[in-house]
Structure 1
Amino acid sequence: MDYKLEYMERLFAKISKKKTESYVISRIWHQLNDDRVKFVVQQYIRRTHDKYALADLYLPQLNILIEINEPFHKNNVEVDKIRNEEIINTTHAQLLVVDCDNDIQEIHRQISIIVWAIKLTIQQLGEKFQAWDDVSTLSVEYHRNKGYLKVEDNECLRTTEDVAAIFGTVAKHRGFLRASGAAIPNKKNEIVWWPNTEHHLWHNELSEDGMFIYEYPKINEKREAHLNQWLSAPEETRITFLRYKDDLGFCFYRFVGVFKLNKEKSIKENKCVWERISNTYQLKK
């Protein structure tokens, strides 16, 4: 199935129970009629140090947030005002609002204005506008041609086979047992690693700041042996793609950096603590 089609199908399925929100977003999508623009629903946004919000609709290429205020919002005018101010201060986004405490003609009028604002922003960006093209950026060829990996670029691939392929290696599996990594050809003590945060036997956790990965078997009796194995093993560098599932249910392997075992922290915490030593990796041309 076409990736964009599947993405939008899942997006609308996710918000299908929110009737008003679903109606407004659907009308924006169809009136805009431009599949170069990516729609993200329920976008997590940090408002302050200890508060966050979920934006109804976010257009990441344009940094536009769209809030869909249903009738109950009229009882929260001041709260919404503070919330929106905090969001703008944090994201520097253009915030557009649809007030749905109106008849359908007025709602349509507001949506038309928002669609016009989106088109105007695209026009103003000109050649700087980057079309939604996840399909290309998820390909092995894209990463090979780019020649390097960078955490800030949110590098992702769909399968472990694709991750291995950009390093010129293969993901070896035995039946239903799936390897968690593969050696990189002609690179001594370097492996490409794809830990799974939802593995039923292993705990793999990326710290909030992205600097550490905590790895240990979920069976407590095996933790000490696992730790001792890596403490005594030759030093290993792990080029790491963390498996995660997005809000629409798509699974990706996202590059999170180059890691080495921090032995001091591992001993102290009684588990393997892999520390990021670089946020970039140069691929072999």
Structure 2
Amino acid sequence: MTSMHHLMTSAASQIALIDHHEVAWSEVRETRYWMHQRFEYHYPGAIRDLRQRLVVIPPERYGDQRLCAYDLKISAPDAVTSAITDTFGNRVFTVAIPELAGDLAFEMRLVVERDVSAVVWPRVTDGDAARYLAPTPLTVADARIVDAARHLARRHAGAEELADAISTWVYGAMRYGYGATTVSTPAAEALAVGKGLCQDYAHIMLAICRAAGIPARYVSGHMLGEGGSHAWVEALVTTAGGYRAVAFDPTNHRRITPAYITVATGRDYSDVSPTSGSYRAPYQGQFSASKRAGLTHLAYR
């Protein structure tokens, strides 16, 4: 197995990755997932009072997922960085830079392991589940969403079965494509357009789940083969002592596999946006991102 020191210090291009296309995911027992990600902002001139929020590093533990190591580098030498755990349990970094004369880069590296030999569902208390039942501005249900929720609820009794049917319905109602929506597009509008990206699929599923009485939350993370971040949904299903989180990916019409890594959860995209912020200047910056990620270890049952 590749050493942790090598994974965390070697050039990203030198990390040997396993071809995930050949993996029989149903037979996987454990994985080690490595990722290098870079966000760059180019400004045409000086900026002042920059405040950046980053939600890019997972919590120490999440279900069967364990964070082994991480590193966050910021190109500005005078950047002041702090980290908190937000109300959803996410690791949130805030960066303050008083003045910046040129470009800015955030570089993240992490190693995560998943042990799926025993099923470990993320757990949610009754009190926490209640906030995932209420609609948000991005998940307000219109008449079509309410009708879909009622129709599917009549045909599927159990919460997990119903959530699975909702995921299938969303997959069939949408076409994947760029340019039709933004991260601020509400679920009802995206559904009316019939085209969007993973956050739209997730918002529509959230809206239908909540309209059908199923608490559900937005998940931000990564899926092997995706160039950027990915989004999916966790339906909260009642169990002894609270709820267990069952994950569905309506964009790809499936439940998640060990090819997925969870970074953060919230009510919708606005709670878990990987990068957001503000600064003072009479012009806008240009944003670009790059990522290299994959498996460095794999074991079968």
TM norm. shorter chain > 0.5: no
Compare the two structures and name the one with the higher helix fraction.
1
Instruction: Specify which structure has the bigger relative contact order, considering alpha-carbon pairs within 8 angstroms and separated by 6 or more residues.
Output: 2
The TM-score with structure 1 as length reference comes to: 0.27
Indicate the structure with greater strand content. 2
Which has the higher Rg, Structure 1 or Structure 2? Answer: 1
Q: With structure 2 as the length reference, what TM-score do the two structures score? A: 0.26
